Chain A
Amino acid sequence: MRILMIEDDAALARSIAALLRAGGNAVDHVATGAEALAVVAGEPYALVILDVGLPDIDGFTVLERLRRRGDKVPVLMLTARDALDDRVRGLDLGADDYLRKPFEPEELEARVRALGRRRGGDPLPTLSVGALTINRSSGGADVAGRRLDLRRRERAVLEALATRAGRVVPRELLIGEVFGFDEPVGDNAIEVHVTRLRGKLAPDGPMIRTVRGVGYMLDAG
């Protein structure tokens, strides 16, 4: 899924981005609250990771402004502060989750996955479409017990389609969810991944249909 990370420490930002990208997510990074507020409006983020200590406007204020303008994107706050007040304040301002530095990487990944699921309205860790089963915690996918060997981007495309099985997913939405804004996206970037996915799902998995000029649809059941 597509994640926006707001973190002023360059080394930590690089590390978290690497961690989450390895899990098949598209991660965008900005270092200031002002940039974050500008960027978050235009992109279909599934999750925002927000550091409390930012150089310009602090994380609480960013969150407050975000919620005030009606943005419901899930927000996971990161803080180096210990105080209980901080945690309560963050959650009261509309944060969905809270993680204290230094955190366990596994915990960050699990919380990111949990928040992603909740956004799709489906908190179950596994997603089934016909013979296809996707384990959203481990990232593994099976078709009738056969393990699919998926690359990072392929998994992201498959998950994006599977959460909306039976509906047409516009190509732009797919690109928005799969690629970060600083990643080069070729004209046929999605095509390539969809073609590979079709090969891997065949013969017993659900079909991916192309709706010409619009996008793609995964057959439900």
Chain B
Amino acid sequence: MTAVLERPAPVRPAGPATRARRLARRVGGPWTYAALIAVLAGSAFPVYWSFVVSSQTPDAIDSVPPVLVPGGHLFANIARVFDTTDFALAMVNSIVVSGTVTISVVLFSTLAGFAFAKLKFRGRNVLLLLIIGTQAIPTELGIIPLYMMMAEFGWAGEIHAVIVPGLVTAFGVFFMRQYFERAIPDELLEAGRMDGCGSLRLFWHVALPAARPAAAVLGLFTFMQAWNDFFWPLVVLTPENPTVQTALSTLASGYTTDYTLVLTAATIGTVPVLAVFLLFGRQIVGGIMSGAVKG
């Protein structure tokens, strides 16, 4: 803990007490552990179970009582997945799509969120409400006009048709706006202004460092969502150029569905997200700490 304590403190909540303080969080007792383990078990069970099924023969999925320990067929099943579909291409496509979308969403959301939270301009509230309102639109029907546009641009079947509409999200802007509102005290920005900083410099030197933990959370969420999106990719992409999710749908498509194969592919498809999670997870944990702990 002490090493972390020395770090600079970009984030200061604008709560009632704004003086420097030390964090002494409650230490968890046995009940905390018991509850956390229960939560973890509940969250992880289906994921664990799909791993179990992917290491078994196809019979395991509907045995009674259910099979709960991994078997020895994992690699054979993985080989079958790569034989049946172009899963390597699907993984690469998904990484490109999710990576691009994540970087763009985090960047543009941070910019817009900062402006909505901390800069005053005419029409600010109206524009913000408009953004929140767009979150309420059911997107399912929008795929027809969206597809018309993509066809017009000649993008149908290409992965930019999946990337470009995802480059900004209402969620991201709203999320960063809520975060900035509290994370940066107005006095700090005023002080910066007095020193002659323009808004871009304030953004760069004050807002961006303060945004790290939230940006990491947003980045993670965006990556996960882009990775798991399937409704639109299924319409606009073709099985020759799939993402992981559309490849999964192809696998699950025969008259008969080999669930083992689908769950194996789903398990492989989880690995990159887990890797990203490890990457951002440290950022989130570290970021939250450095943000919260005041020296």
The answer to whether A and B assemble together is: no
Q: Which residues of A approach B to under 8 Å, CB–CB?
A: none
